[in-house]
Amino acid sequence: MLIISFLAIIIGILLGLLGGGGSILTVPVLIYLADIPAKNAIITSLFVVGSTSLIATITHASKKHVCWKTGGIFGSAGMLGAFSGGRLNAYIPDALLLILLAIVMLFAALSMLLKKQKTTSLAAQKELSFCPLELPIIAILLDGFFLGLITGLVGVGGGFLLVPALMHLAQLPMHAAIGTSLFIICLQSFAALMGHAAHISIDIPLTVSISFLAIIGSFIGAKLALHFPPALLKKSFGYFVLTLGSALLYKEANQSMINQLHLLIAENQAFISGASSAIIVALLYRVWLWLHTKTNKI
């Protein structure tokens, strides 16, 4: 328990230092160090992510860095996706969930490592320092749903995907995108918990303890962040997550997992065909919308 408590504080410190991302370590820590089954670890992670994001949202809201309308629209679709992901989680083998988590971790790591720091002039900051009244509703609903689905399935907040989406779709400045993404993560996390509630129990004392320690760690991290270059922190953490995600993928991608995947597909062919068709149509629409936006800017 001492090791778990220490790691919970470390996760919180990472959240405070990076403004997000530290929660992606919660599930691996609970599975491999606390010996908690994957599905229980995911639901515990959702509670940790939701509670720490709630505290952070209050802090950002006090600075007027949360766009409530944008967050509400994005978050409503995210809640539906997160609840659906929580319900689907019951039908997916643990090994396959861990493979999905490893892929998400690799994607997060590459996002941290490849993303270039952009400097924005003071005039541009002022121009973007408002919450937009007109939004691309359909695109926001689609992105919100799919990001919420990931949250519900594997128990990560997804801030590394939410912040760029809010900056691109809603044209929010960085500080507003971070604050609004935390609000959305709160909504998604607690909707996902409702989705999991029907098929899995939660160890309340352990979950509350980890959440409490993570929140304390986040305050420590926020103080430490003043003394470290953000770009260096993200790069270092990106390499760490890349290594951990690769190790997780190597460990879980075996013949047993492949057999479980074949069995899952064989037993749910109709559902998988229908869901795949809907996802492909939605993704094609998003690609068209992205190309259309790019063309208009030329």
pLDDT for 230-289, tens place per residue?
Answer: 677 778 878 888 898 898 888 888 777 788 778 878 877 787 787 778 778 777 776 776
Do 218 and 283 fall within a single domain?
Answer: no
Cα distance between residue 67 and residue 51, in whole Å: 19
Do 226 and 288 fall within a single domain?
Answer: no
Q: What digits encode the pLDDT tens for the residues 154-196? A: 888 777 778 878 887 778 887 788 888 889 989 998 999 888 8
Q: Residue 130 gets which letter from DSSP?
A: S
Do 278 and 130 fall within a single domain?
Answer: no
Look up the pTM and report it: 0.80
Q: What digits encode the pLDDT tens for the residues 93-113? A: 888 888 888 888 888 888 778
Average pLDDT over residues 210-224: 83
Q: Considering the chain, what is the average pLDDT of its residues?
A: 80
Do 248 and 104 fall within a single domain?
Answer: yes
Report DSSP letters for 133-147, one per residue: SS--HHHHHHHHHHH
Q: Is 276 exposed, middle or buried (0-12, 13-18, 19+ CB in 10 A)?
A: exposed
The packing angle between helices 174-197 and 38-62, to 10°, is: 140
Range of 284's domain?
268-298
Q: What digits encode the pLDDT tens for the residues 22-54? A: 667 788 878 887 778 888 888 888 888 888 888
Do 286 and 199 fall within a single domain?
Answer: no
Average pLDDT over residues 120-148: 70
Do 261 and 224 fall within a single domain?
Answer: yes
The packing angle between helices 159-169 and 137-154, to 10°, is: 180
Do 89 and 101 fall within a single domain?
Answer: yes
Residue 263, classed as helix, strand or coil, is helix
Do 55 and 118 fall within a single domain?
Answer: yes
Do 89 and 62 fall within a single domain?
Answer: yes
Residue 80: per-residue pLDDT = 93
Do 159 and 220 fall within a single domain?
Answer: yes
Residue 28: per-residue pLDDT = 84
Residue 217, classed as helix, strand or coil, is helix
Q: Would you say residue 213 has pLDDT above 80?
A: yes
**Do residues 17 and 112 touch, judged by C-beta distance below 8 A?**
no
Considering only residues 91 and 233, tell me which one the structure prediction assigns the higher pLDDT. 91
Do 207 and 289 fall within a single domain?
Answer: no
Do 111 and 183 fall within a single domain?
Answer: yes
Domain count for the chain, please give it.
2
User: To the nearest whole percent, how much of the chain has pLDDT over 70?
Assistant: 86
